[in-house]
Chain A
């Protein structure tokens, strides 16, 4: 990708599209918006990479960088959108290409996750999503959230503990 952006970008999208889409979907909860943000993230990544020198591309940790782009887009969107959109009974759309059962399952799963995650303080929410839903390493999480690795690690553990123990979460989940 560093040497031949156009030749390798397709593989890059193929490799990360599901995870990035899932990530945004978990944060946004709406299929159309999640798809748009995930797509926008890849397009922004491509445009940025076009402008980078080969050396800078090689030095880039692509996965956390991509998630950072998506995260910024989600934040910008949330800032613009009415806060109520995030926690009332907003309808959850799931990909139309999947069968009705898979759709119902995905819808429920996202509802469960979102309800649980929304009860977490923001500083724990994102590290938990990145670590346990997206499978990023602690180094990568620290990179995305721009904090020390130790902080990222502590926040993941603390977030998870809160998620499991909180009576409030337990009542909801």
Chain B
């Protein structure tokens, strides 16, 4: 029966499915699948991922499957291994704060915290309270800690350089022990921090016309230099010194 044959053909066509890779191909072309590579870091091998807008994540994971699963859970996006990204992502790990990151998943407060954190130079640290003051929320010290704990791109946005005001290194998105290891790798003398992480003392290198928080200096900058030390910024200001443009100490306590 001719009509039946037509109906049967309709049924076959209706049950046809798109080729197996169809969905992935479409999502990839729309930029909805991010890519990742395994890269080296001071704490060993980590997974780094990027999308069209920059680096989206740096994570530790025990396997590719675990990473892909956690990534999807956290960002709601697919991610696939792309070895051609290895060089770019490895380079980004080295460039750190100058690499392009995608913080679109973060709220404005988190973004402000992470942007301020990016300005901390290698070999130096800042207390949580400094970040809070820098972003205009001096009372939100705990919230700064929470925002940093959720940093999607640790190592690239250097949240390991933010420490407690008592000089303890504190918590870290990738683990507290690793925080110490990374800081030491960057040349920070961790046992010394207790003495220097304070916002109640101001240092000025001999012969310099600016004054800083003591944590503004890296270990090499301390060697063989003499500092004038002040208990209040007013003392420094009275001597004609101006606040450092990197660590922004106040003009008055």
Q: How many residues of B contact A (CB 8 A)?
A: 26
Q: Which residues of B contact A105 (CB under 8 A)?
A: 12
A135 vs B8: C-alpha distance in the bound complex, in angstroms?
Answer: 15
A21 vs B22: C-alpha distance in the bound complex, in angstroms?
Answer: 10
Could you tell me which residues of chain B, from 1 to 22, have a CB within 8 Å of some CB in chain A?
2-3, 5-6, 8-10, 12-14, 16-20, 22
A9/B32 in contact, CB under 8 A: yes
A21 vs B25: C-alpha distance in the bound complex, in angstroms?
Answer: 14
In the complex, A62 has a CB within 8 A of chain B: no
In the complex, B77 has a CB within 8 A of chain A: yes
Interface residues as binary, A38-52 with B (CB distance below 8 Å gives 1, 0 otherwise): 110011001100000
> Closest A-chain residue to B10, C-beta based?
A133
- Minimum Cβ distance to chain A for residue B28 (Å): 10
Q: How many residues of A contact B (CB 8 A)?
A: 42
In the complex, B223 has a CB within 8 A of chain A: no
Our pick among A10, A25, A108, A173 for the contact of B23 (Cβ within 8 Å) is A10
A10 vs B26: C-alpha distance in the bound complex, in angstroms?
Answer: 9
A21/B6 in contact, CB under 8 A: no
A113 vs B5: C-alpha distance in the bound complex, in angstroms?
Answer: 9
Which residues of A does B touch, CB under 8 Å? Answer: 6-7, 9-10, 13-14, 17-18, 20-22, 25-26, 31, 35, 38-39, 42-43, 46-47, 94-98, 105-106, 108-110, 112-113, 116, 132-133, 135, 163-164, 169-170, 173
